[in-house]
Structure 1
Amino acid sequence: MLIALQKVSKSYRTAEGPLEVLREVDLGLEVGRTLALTGESGSGKSTLLHLAAGLDHPDSGRIEIAGQDISQLNDVGRAALRRGVVGLVFQQFNLIPSLDVGANLSFHARLAGRYDSAWQSELVEKLGLEALLKRYPEQLSVGQQQRVAIGRTLAARPKLVLADEPTGNLDEATGDAVLALMLELVVQTGAALLMVTHSTRLAERLDARVHLRAGRIA
């Protein structure tokens, strides 16, 4: 398994007491496979992705990526994991305001030592970003920013892509093209994709689908 969650639970403190978000979730994804994670709002989908990325800690359970228990890593180790193995496409784009689109696209790939100008050019073409390379994030629409964020993640050729509604701000045609590009990356590089989506239509294009209901795999 490239990523495995074993009996993972997570709760948050509220004024009314602990709020259980995930309850003993088991989940696994092999190299070269794609998995859609569906569920109603508040079912724990985004929390699961944040835990898998090492951005938060589970209350209990174990999360392994490439055979490594990420709970044993410190902040530096988790950051290195995200830089070298895991690519994130979250709803907060986190583009760097002082860099133009071209530099934003190559940023993570350069950090990981995997910058490939030919691959970036291919991404630019497929994401329709050719005319935007010299613009800055504040000059882009929300949909354009999302395409740049997706391209930045894929440019580094991560082994595991964690995507939270990656096509949520895109029109249907562009969203379909972006998902096709993600699936192509899996085929080309032997990566894996775990994608949160509300779209049954998009979920059906992935290899498998699991549904979260009230913090449990239904």
Structure 2
Amino acid sequence: MALMLLRLRDIHKSFAGAEGPVPVLRGVDLDLAAGESLALTGESGSGKSTLLHLVGGLDRPDRGRIEVAGTEVTALDDSGRAALRRGTVGVVFQQFNLIPSLTVGDNIAFQARIAGRHEPVRATALAERLGLAPHLAKYPEQLSGGQQQRCAIARTLAARPALVLADEPTGNLDEATAEEVLGAMLELVAETGAALLMVTHSQHHAARMGRRLHLHAGRIA
């Protein structure tokens, strides 16, 4: 039986508005096992990215419980949530968030070094699999958008996270490049046995995941 890696129970989140709190999430329950891939879809403003940020410890819910690999994220302080992102959870953003002063090779190694898991052989293998081997000495500004996202994916996976969160990871790419990048990410995540939770507006991309859930008005529809 697969390890239940992610468990959300009764998650609520509101943000301040001009006329008072604006509810974004209204009691979300979700389970994700190790090795599973899950697409989270929904219209703009449905709470998809908010939910992903809560799982990654980038924000706190108003109510509810989030567990990642047996750790209650909602009980952690800022340093505890930062440690969770270093060692257990990896995040791939729509904006690549590469460090412009570091080479591609050093960007790939960055997260793994912080986590104390840097393996030069693995980093090189990821670069080769993602078509980045000829570009390791370059800087992010010298890469195309697709290459930068491949670098961001390699950086995340080099640290061997148990849970990968991807927030519209191909949203800034053209259709053909998006297909290539998504395919590479799904293949590499599957090989590690990690769980993948991906926010996407694309039904086509969602169909490539193991299962999907749809958020509507802050609830799982």
TM-score by length of structure 2 reads 0.92
The 2-side partners of 1:205 and 1:213 are apart by 21
Q: Structure 1 residue 9 and structure 2 residue 12: aligned?
A: yes
Greater CA drift, 86-95 or 29-38: 86-95
Name the structure 2 match of 1:51: 54
Q: Deviations over 1:66-121 (max 9, x none)?
A: 11111111111111111111000012322112211110011011111222223222
Amino acid across the alignment from 2:68: I
Q: Secondary structure at the match of 1:2?
A: strand
Q: Structure 1 residue 200 and structure 2 residue 210: aligned?
A: no
Greater CA drift, 178-187 or 111-120: 178-187
Change (3 A) 1:14 1:216: same
RMSD: 1.5
Shift of 1:162: 0.2
Does the aligned pair in 2 maintain the 1:7–1:25 contact within 8 Å? yes
Greater CA drift, 177-186 or 76-85: 177-186
Q: Structure 1 residue 216 and structure 2 residue 182: aligned?
A: no
Specify every segment of 5 or more residues in structure 1 that has no aligned partner in the other structure, as ranges.
none
The 2-side partners of 1:189 and 1:151 are apart by 13
Q: Secondary structure at the match of 1:29?
A: strand
Name the structure 2 match of 1:175: 178
Does the aligned pair in 2 maintain the 1:33–1:186 contact within 8 Å? no
Q: Secondary structure at the match of 2:118?
A: coil
Name the structure 1 match of 2:23: 20
Q: Secondary structure at the match of 2:40?
A: strand
Name the structure 2 match of 1:86: 89
Change (3 A) 1:109 1:75: same
Q: Structure 1 residue 97 and structure 2 residue 100: aligned?
A: yes
Q: How does 1:147-166 map to 2 (within 5 A)?
A: 147-166=150-169
Greater CA drift, 92-101 or 80-89: 92-101
Greater CA drift, 137-146 or 149-158: 137-146
The 2-side partners of 1:169 and 1:202 are apart by 14
Pick from 120, 130, 134: which aligns with 2:133? 130
Percent identity among equivalent residues?
A: 67
Shift of 1:211: 0.3
The 2-side partners of 1:31 and 1:58 are apart by 23
Shift of 1:150: 1.4
Specify every segment of 5 or more residues in structure 2 that has no aligned partner in the other structure, as ranges.
none
